[in-house]
Amino acid sequence: MRRSVCMAAMLALIAVGCGRSVNLDEERTGLLEADRQFAQSTKDVDLFMSYWAPDATAHLSGRAAVRGTDAIRKAFAEPVTAPGVSLSWTPERAEVSAAGDLGYTVGSYELTANGAKERGKYVTIWKKQPEGTWKVIEDIGNSNLPPATGAAAAPTPPQ
């Protein structure tokens, strides 16, 4: 019996030692590239939505958070493709967990709507999918402008 326990423990240690090793530099580079490609998708709603996990949450400036791709499409993606609206962002860095399955990107954005321009910063949390792609699970941004006090409110995409 004792011999069986020792053998099982040794096999467990070997399995742990043979576990998948993660190249964090490669993962960071891949995640940063995923965010750069995501930033190029803003005028194609279907492509834009393909970067979001089904249960993702978007924390929109000045509005309640929305969860799920249908809600994100309605509240965020469709308004961004409206005439006179432009959204762009520049990923500045990425970090990835030691396991290589979670990461985040940070950067700056610019939103133009109704003739007004807003600049801000964002954090996007990504989860690596079983097939190896990165999907957004949480996204939040906020304006560099001071909080609005009346008529000087930051632009919001048309609804």
The pLDDT score that the predictor gives to residue 146 is 85
> What percent of the chain has pLDDT above 90?
68
Q: Name the amino acid, one letter, at 73.
A: R
Domain ranges of the chain: 22-143
The pLDDT score that the predictor gives to residue 85 is 93
159 versus 102: the higher-pLDDT residue is 102
Confidence of residue 6 (pLDDT cuts 50, 70, 90): very low
Which tens digit of pLDDT belongs to each residue from 56-112? 999 988 889 999 999 999 998 889 889 999 999 999 999 999 999 999 999 999 999
Structure tokens belonging to residue 114? 């109704």
Structure tokens belonging to residue 113? 């709507």
Structure tokens belonging to residue 105? 């990107």
CA-CA distances (angstroms) from residue 113 to 7, 83, 137, 148? 66, 9, 25, 16
> Taking 70 as the threshold, does the pLDDT of residue 41 lie above it?
yes
Dihedrals phi, psi of 49, to nearest 5 degrees: -70, -25
CATH class of this structure's domain 22-143: alpha beta
Confidence of residue 11 (pLDDT cuts 50, 70, 90): very low
Q: Which residues contact 16 (CB under 8 A, 6 or more apart)?
A: none
Look-up: residue for tokens 């700056």? Answer: 108
Which tens digit of pLDDT belongs to each residue from 21-36? 899 999 999 999 999 9
Question: Is residue 59 exposed (0-12), middle (13-18) or buried (19+ Cβ within 10 Å)?
Answer: middle
Helices (H), ranges, the chain: 2-17, 24-39, 45-49, 69-72, 78-80
25 versus 20: the higher-pLDDT residue is 25
- pTM, 2 dp: 0.80
Which tens digit of pLDDT belongs to each residue from 143-153? 998 876 755 55
Instruction: State the chain's mean pLDDT as an integer.
Output: 86
The pLDDT score that the predictor gives to residue 20 is 60
> Taking 90 as the threshold, does the pLDDT of residue 132 lie above it?
yes
